[in-house]
Amino acid sequence: MSFALVARIVAAICAVLFVILLLFPATYAPTYGVAADMGVQFITRRAAPMFIAPAVILWCAASAPDTPLRRAVALGIALSFVGIAATGLAAYLAGTASAAILIAALGECLMAAALWATRKN
């Protein structure tokens, strides 16, 4: 699999998450067994823009040649997904989130691994 393909797939996922978090914040948290009260919806909506930035960056980087900058972009976004996965795992272990969060964490780790594995091609 090429970096261009991985970057575009992850960019599309980030763009979809941006739309869901921004426009439908009450639907996101219950997916993981967390009540979507007004505070959760507020934070969810505020977090939405954090997904549009990597979407745009990855979309643009997909067609860029292999450079240290492109590798840094891949590393930075991969690490952010590892961090998101870690918070999901911590929420599950604390009893805050249901086992569904583990599926999300797996997906986040897979995206991170794919970005890392393809960063040079």
Q: How far lies 84's CA from each of 1, 68, 88, 112, in Å? A: 24, 24, 6, 10
pLDDT digits (tens, 9 = 90+) for 7-62: 999 999 999 999 999 999 999 999 999 999 999 999 999 999 999 999 999 999 99
| Stated pTM of the model | 0.92
Range of 70's domain?
A: 3-118
How many Å apart are CA 86 and CA 110, to the nearest integer? 13
More confident residue, 120 or 11: 11
pLDDT at 121: 86
pLDDT digits (tens, 9 = 90+) for 66-115: 999 999 999 999 999 999 999 999 999 999 999 999 999 999 999 999 99
- Domains in the chain: how many in total? 1
